[in-house]
Amino acid sequence: MEYAILNNGVKIPMEGFGVFQVPDQAQCEQVVLEAIESGYRLIDTAAVYMNEEAVGAAIKKSGVPREELFITTKLWSQDANYTAAKVAFQTSLDKLGLDYIDLYMIHQPLGDYYGAYRALEELYKEGKIKAIGICNFYPDRVVDLCMNVEIKPQVNQIELHPYFQQEDALKVMKEFAVQPQAWGPLAEGKHGIFTDPILAEIGAKYGKSNAQVVLKWNAQRGVIVIPKSVNASRIKENFDIWDFELSQEDMDAIAKMDFGHSEIIDHRNPELVKGLLSFNIH
């Protein structure tokens, strides 16, 4: 496993395990346990995933010391204001059964996220969170936030995979020392990514699968990856990416796969924004 150092000195694993779309509590607990047993130390959940309690149960059962784990959860847009953010944070902390959160993130740049961010800054100063994160912030929102807050965010989690590489977004994050983190690093399985011939040809050189090539490609760009699977063998396979390096030729070949836009979600779509703001979790 390799690690990145955030702009506040906190060390974070370069690969984690995501639990998006695993709402079944028993299944979620089981796959998180399998991930921890496979070597993952970063676990990424969110209030809206409805599985924080299962993640907490798995952490407790794993037997791994708390300080060896890096736990992320996220504030849903319904609670994006100063007062509600404090309550939502405590709710997540209680569901996880933890004393602190390693990375607490604002899930969408919606609602009064500046008010929510002030709450996160206070929680950070109190030691209840070790790092402040944001999700789905486009470059313009990253610039605006970084230039108007006391504590710059440490991480921005956005869609990053071969079909949507977001090089401009990475440049902005680098300028403000914000660590990029990829959701959907395997493109949610779209566009035949697991059988793509370009990736397969590269993988054959190293004895690696398409998924392993894609995850390694992002990691070599300095992007933290958080793949998700409920299949035990794939959970292990996705973690087995730290014993090889892609050549520059490989990196260049993957660079040509970029569509230049997302075919999963557009956070600037008015109808999507309405839907996100209308979706309540309590």
Active-site positions? 49
* Angstrom distance (rounded) from CA 59 to CA 36: 8
Which of 31, 95, 71 is CA-nearest to residue 239? 31
- Which residues are registered as beta bridge partners of 161? 164
Residue 197 Cα to chain centre, angstroms? 27
* 8 Å CB contact between 220 and 254: no
What's the token pair of residue 81?
């204001």
Neighbours of 272 (CB within 10 A): 13
Q: Cα-flanking dihedrals φ and ψ of residue 21, to 5°?
A: 65, 35
